[in-house]
Amino acid sequence: MAFDQTDARLSLAERLNLELRDAHPAAIIEAAADAFGDRLALVSSFGAESAVLLHLVAQVNPDMPVLFLDTGMLFAQTLDYRRNLAARLGLTQVRDLRPRFEDLALGDPNTNLWQSDTDACCHIRKVLPLDRALEGFDAWLTGRKRFHGGDRLRLSVVEQAEHQIKFNPLANWGKTELDAYIVKHDLPAHPLVAAGFPSVGCWPCTQAVEEGADVRAGRWAGSQKTECGIHTARAPGAAPFMGGDI
């Protein structure tokens, strides 16, 4: 793709962000695909708002790898939605990422780590499997949006993340744009949305909320935790997690 004239000292991620920061999500995905080809993946939770980005990707390249974190603690409705939506959109490369048996045996042998340390639970079940899968890619797409608040308020369309470049095609969109896109393309909703779940994660740490509540209010409710860890920068040179406290 062609770039505007920018300071040569800017990183690739910074130059891409300058070029794409006001672009339509479809244009961002196309630019990412042009730049990285088969070294680009989409990471999707198949959650409450996931259908929009999955549909956009299917229009650009239905064979793009889609990385899905099957933590072993997802709602049954999410697993059904993942299977049905992937088939409907014609996505051919959805890959289920699961935690390693060794990590679970060492760090969560009784499957109750979420009760005492949600960060460690997410690390075993989400961060480690995704880190391993992303070793085969140079860039990835996420479904994060600024209107979700918290650290996402300052979200760039393109950013550097560890060893990959991260694209956030929906960063600029709000709920109005998402809802309009869903209606226009007749996309099916996650089954739990109608039950009061505007955001859907693992069942122990997700709950329904009252209408009008913050979109992520039901995630880790009652705690200061707002992210699972896959979008949190790790310290350079940090040793891999091998169970226990982190």
- Residue 120 in any domain: the answer is yes
For the entire predicted model, the pTM comes to 0.87
Q: What is the pLDDT of residues 82-125, one digit of tens each?
A: 999 999 999 999 999 999 999 999 999 999 999 999 999 999 99
- Residue 187 in any domain: the answer is yes
- Residue 235 in any domain: the answer is no
Q: Which residues form the domain of 103?
A: 12-205
Contact 52, 189 (CB under 8 A): no
- Residue 122 in any domain: the answer is yes
The number of C-alpha atoms within 13 Å of 15 and in the hemisphere containing its C-beta is: 14
CA 95 to each of CA 69, 129, 133: distance values in angstroms, whole numbers, following the listed order = 8, 11, 9
- Residue 233 in any domain: the answer is no
Q: What is the pLDDT of residues 190-227, one digit of tens each?
A: 999 999 998 899 999 999 888 877 777 777 777 877 67
Contact 33, 40 (CB under 8 A): yes
- Residue 5 in any domain: the answer is no
List residues bridging with 80 in a β-sheet. none
Pick from 66, 40, 38, 41: nearest CA to 51: 66
Provide the number of structural domains found in the chain. 1
- Residue 232 in any domain: the answer is no
* CATH value at residue 60: 3.40.50.620
Residues marked active site are found at 228
- Residue 150 in any domain: the answer is yes
